[in-house]
């Protein structure tokens, strides 16, 4: 029998997530603040249709996620928002030089 999640495991935090791979109606998402070395496998049904249809590999999203969960299957994602693209190294170096 599956144990109920604790309050810490249920609390939602605003996180940055990156689309690692899209395979038909499924995708692999990396949530660095949960586990930067492990992808999370999501189905189309777990993502708002307008968001899923516009997703591309490498895109980043702000999502509210319960990063206290111990297992990927227990993660919840809400309030998806497209994040700005990551800056390139040239942009970072140019900014440091100014």
Task: Give pLDDT tens digits for 35-85.
Answer: 999 999 999 999 999 999 999 999 999 999 999 998 999 999 999 999 998
* DSSP H/E element including 3: none
Half-sphere exposure of 52 (CA within 13 A, CB side): 16
- Greatest alpha-carbon pair distance for the chain in Å reads 58
Q: What is the mean pLDDT of residues 83-95?
A: 87
List Cβ neighbours of 41 (8 Å cut-off, separation of 6 or more). Answer: 26, 27, 28, 72
- Contact assessment for residue 7 and residue 15, using Cβ atoms and an 8 Å cutoff: no
Q: What is the pTM of this model?
A: 0.83
Superfamily of domain 7-96: Nucleic acid-binding proteins (2.40.50.140)
């Amino acid at each position: 029998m599956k144990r109920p999640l604790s309050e810490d495991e249920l609390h939602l935090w605003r996180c940055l997530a990156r689309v690692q791979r899209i395979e038909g109606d499924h995708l692999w998402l990396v949530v660095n603040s949960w586990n930067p070395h492990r992808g999370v496998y999501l189905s189309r049904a777990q993502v708002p249709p307008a968001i899923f249809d516009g997703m591309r590999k490498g895109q980043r999203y702000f999502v509210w996620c319960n990063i206290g969960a111990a297992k990927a299957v227990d993660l919840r994602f809400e309030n998806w928002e497209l994040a700005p693209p990551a800056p390139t190294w040239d942009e970072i170096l140019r900014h440091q030089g100014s």
